Amino acid sequence: MNRDDRRRFLRSLPLAELHRHFDGACRPATLWEYSEQYYRAVPGLDFEEFRHYLQWDDAKDRNLLDYLSKFDVPLQYTQFYENIKRIAYEIAADAYAEGIRVLELRTNPIIHRRAGLSTRQVVHATRKGLARFGEEHPDFRAGINIIAMRNHGGNLARILLREVIGEKAEWHGGPGVIGFDIAGAEAPFPPILFVKAYELAAKMGLGLTVHAGEAAGPERVWEAVENLGPRRIGHGTSAGRDPELLKRLAADGIVVECCLTSNVHTGAIDRYLDHPLPKFLDAGVRVALCTDNPTVSNTDLVREYEIAMTTFGFSENDMRRIARQGWEGSFVAEAGTFPAGGER
């Protein structure tokens, strides 16, 4: 199968994206427009130079700090209601163009409150942008996963949950809050600090996912599984080093959200071949291929599927199985069953 045929096949799959961050998926052209409108985020640059501050550059960027620096510029412009709403709409449009029909968008509302918006206003703007696109494309479904930062602690995580309860999907005729997640530095902030927050999220009826095993060992994945009761694990790359953990993930039906290119850029793995994706599948662990931050990593979901297919020699049926597992792992209630014909 040549590259054109491979991409044609992959674009025919009904795709679900379960791990895409709002601030890592903003269109560079839109941020450039805001930079021209408000003030130059980085004075003296043309558009191509500006893009370097948003996207990974293999020639210049080397480590996790370089990767994290790509979020500095977007945050200068995601502090305003109309901007958030527009960006959410554009993220949905970009996802739809990739063939994604179920999109879960992650956001940490607190980092978008520096100009005076409330937590609920941030989420409301995100929801409105997604809803507008959904009204134009009835075959598109979306939901919002709320992120609490580990370094903010468990108490603030519970406060955040109480602030967003009015934006739950079930209260609205369209996109809304469907899930809860924690992210940030793993080593100093273990999952056990967030037990009460996850108990509250479960009582609220939210889907539970946890960033774990990306920048720490499999012990953090174990702790998340044992203490937080998640249905999904974000990244989980280090889990591939622990056969007993793989058995546990498979037995519990926990879906691992695999982000290949992002994991290379952040240093979670050295190269694509080192990713434990084949180990997950061989052990019966359910997986979902995801982009994480498509603008930062300059990727899209079809490209991530293509990387998996070519790197590991997966067949068309392997890719259909992965697409099905992603779809079935979604917290979006309206996603329904995997479309007929998606897998043979």
- Residues of the chain with pLDDT > 90: what percent? 90
Rounded to an integer, the average pLDDT of 258-265 is: 98
pLDDT at 338 over 80: yes
Considering the domain boundaries, does residue 343 fall inside one?
Answer: no
pLDDT at 114 over 60: yes
Find the domain containing 261 and state its range.
3-332
Tokens representing 171 are 């209260």
The pLDDT value given to residue 206: 98
**In the structure, what pLDDT confidence band is assigned to residue 43 with cuts at 50, 70 and 90?**
confident
pLDDT at 48 over 60: yes
Tokens representing 26 are 């903003």
pLDDT at 90 over 70: yes
Report field, pTM of the whole predicted structure over 0.85: yes
Residue, of 203 and 36, whose pLDDT is higher: 203
pLDDT at 255 over 90: yes
pLDDT at 343 over 60: no
The pLDDT value given to residue 44: 81
Considering the domain boundaries, does residue 244 fall inside one?
Answer: yes
Considering the domain boundaries, does residue 45 fall inside one?
Answer: yes
**In the structure, what pLDDT confidence band is assigned to residue 64 with cuts at 50, 70 and 90?**
confident
Catalytic site includes residue 90: no
Say which range, 110-119, 150-159, 330-339, has the weakest mean pLDDT: 330-339
Q: How many domains does the chain have?
A: 1
Taking 3-state DSSP, the helix, strand and coil percentages for the chain, each rounded to the nearest 5, stand at 55, 15, 30
Considering the domain boundaries, does residue 338 fall inside one?
Answer: no
Amino acid making up residue 54: L
The pLDDT value given to residue 341: 59
The pLDDT value given to residue 336: 81
**In the structure, what pLDDT confidence band is assigned to residue 339 with cuts at 50, 70 and 90?**
confident
98, 214, 304, 343: the active-site residue: 214
Q: If you count them, how many residues does the chain have?
A: 344
Considering the domain boundaries, does residue 249 fall inside one?
Answer: yes
pLDDT at 45 over 80: yes
Q: Is the dihedral of CA 51, 57, 63, 67 positive or negative?
A: positive
pLDDT at 141 over 70: yes
Indicate the pairing of strand 177-183 with strand 207-212.
parallel
**Angle CA 217–63–65, to nearest 5:** 95
The pLDDT value given to residue 344: 36
The pLDDT value given to residue 210: 98
Considering the domain boundaries, does residue 127 fall inside one?
Answer: yes
Considering the domain boundaries, does residue 140 fall inside one?
Answer: yes
The mean of the pLDDT values for the chain is 95
Considering the domain boundaries, does residue 90 fall inside one?
Answer: yes
CATH number, domain of 200, equals 3.20.20.140
Query: d(Cα 212, Cα 256) in Å, to the nearest integer?
Result: 10
Rounded to an integer, the average pLDDT of 172-177 is: 93
Q: Is 275 left (phi over 0), alpha (psi -120 to 50) or beta?
A: beta
Rounded to an integer, the average pLDDT of 264-283 is: 97
Eight-state DSSP code of residue 232: E
Rounded to an integer, the average pLDDT of 137-148 is: 97
